[in-house]
Amino acid sequence: MINNINTSSLRVRFVVLFVLFLSLQGIAQTQDTIITLKDAVEIGLKNNLELLAAEKDVAATKGRSITSLGIEDPEISGEWVEIPKGSGVSNYNERNFTISQSIDFPTNYIHRKKRGDLEIKRSHLLLEERKLELRAQIETVYYQLVASREQLNLVRQNINLAQDFLSMAKLRYNAGKAPILEVKRAQIVLANIENELSMVQGNYKKHQAVLNALLAFPDEKNTVPADSLSYRLLNLSLNELMQNALNTHPWLLINNLSAQIAGKNVSLAKGSYLPRITGGYSSQTIGGQPFRGIEAGVSLPLWAPVNQRGQVMESKGNLAATQYRAQNEILVRKAKVKGAFGKVVAAREQVNKYLSDLLQQSEDLYKLTLRSYEEGKVDYLKVLDAQDSYININKSYINDLANFKIQVAILEYETNQNIVQ
């Protein structure tokens, strides 16, 4: 019997140690990294894989710009003729060496060089736009993560309130002042809140995973926000924001550059009407007597009504389409700035309502109702209603405050303006 007890005890100890080992392994494998929003943006701009790919796109565009000059390789040929049968190559009677080069009309190279420079500028602007977008994405997810953490703390606070209410209900029941129904109802409320906790924890993990991906964190690292959802009253001017957006937003500049590139394509298409220039040099030996020659020529676009004319029509159509897109982007940018500004104003008004009286009133109401319940002046339903009101108002405040900061981040992207929150 004693041996059986000792064996069972050893088994229990082994299981406990094994579970503890697994827990320590999990802790060792996952490391929480506490970072501020500023740090998160800096890390993202340095490590984000899409951004690194965009930087390589710039290098690729520079390579295409060099290649697009289109300088053809020269042609070099040698010829040995009139060699007697059975003799070596050195017994030729005639030897010819020729080198020839064909080039476009010089102005076409100038247009290609300018087009390449414009394409490089556009690739840099595309990189800047990606940085601007990434910053807004990081700020949005960071605020969502902070809001999830605050919601998590609020649910835990709600659990404490429900536990306190359950304890009071039990005391009142034991004292004969309340029916068992109050205790059962308090137990159900506590169970529902505990179920809500797992859902909120899931939201927190989801936003954490998204932020980890944006920052290109390895699997063993998790971001933990150091900042809180602070509120700062912003004095924003729609006119100033609009002007800044129209003057500096990368998408507008990108569309303008695209129109300029399309203009260079029109110039190159028209340049196809110009002749190609061919030059060459030859060295010839006939019967031991050396000769030299020079070759020059041009190619005439005899099929211009079919080939060159079609190129010009296509390039002009592309230019017109690109110009329309550039004009449309201005209209779209104006609409997006106005829409983003309106959402910021609406979100700011919501937050101000909570700060003015709603938060304090809901807290005072809950404390007053709870005190009245302890004194037997109100029933448990009044307490539950006051508790629900208090918690729901705080939940809404957290969501609205996070939404306000997210809308400001979106406004920053739409206007290319860094707004201090």
**What string of DSSP letters covers 11-25?**
HHHHHHHHHHHHHHH
Query: Would you place residue 271 in the very low, low, confident or very high pLDDT band (cuts 50, 70, 90)?
Result: confident
Residue 16 has pLDDT above 60, yes or no: no
Max mean pLDDT range (62-71, 72-81, 349-358, 401-410): 401-410
Residue 25 has pLDDT above 50, yes or no: no
Tokens for 258, please give them.
Answer: 């695209």
Please give the residue that has the higher pLDDT: either 373 or 416.
416
pLDDT value for 3: 42
The mean pLDDT of 237-255, rounded to a whole number, is 95
Residue 183 has pLDDT above 60, yes or no: yes
Residue 110 has pLDDT above 70, yes or no: yes
pLDDT value for 119: 94
Cα–Cα distance between 265 and 316 in angstroms, integer? 8
Residue 91 vs residues 134, 183, 285, 421: alpha-carbon distances, Å: 73, 119, 12, 89
Residue 40's SS3 state is helix
Widest CA span of the chain, in angstroms?
Answer: 134
pLDDT value for 277: 86
pLDDT value for 301: 79
Share of the chain above pLDDT 70, in %: 92
Cα–Cα distance between 353 and 393 in angstroms, integer? 11
Tokens for 27, please give them.
Answer: 């802790």
**How many helices (H) and strands (E) would you count in the chain?**
10, 6
Q: What is the pTM of this model?
A: 0.81
The mean pLDDT of 151-172, rounded to a whole number, is 87
All domains of the chain, ordered by start, with CATH? 29-74+105-274+304-415 (1.20.1600.10)
Residue 28 has pLDDT above 50, yes or no: no
Strands (E), 270-352: 276-286, 289-299
Cα–Cα distance between 179 and 181 in angstroms, integer? 5
DSSP state of 72: P
The mean pLDDT of 54-59, rounded to a whole number, is 93
Query: Would you place residue 27 in the very low, low, confident or very high pLDDT band (cuts 50, 70, 90)?
Result: very low
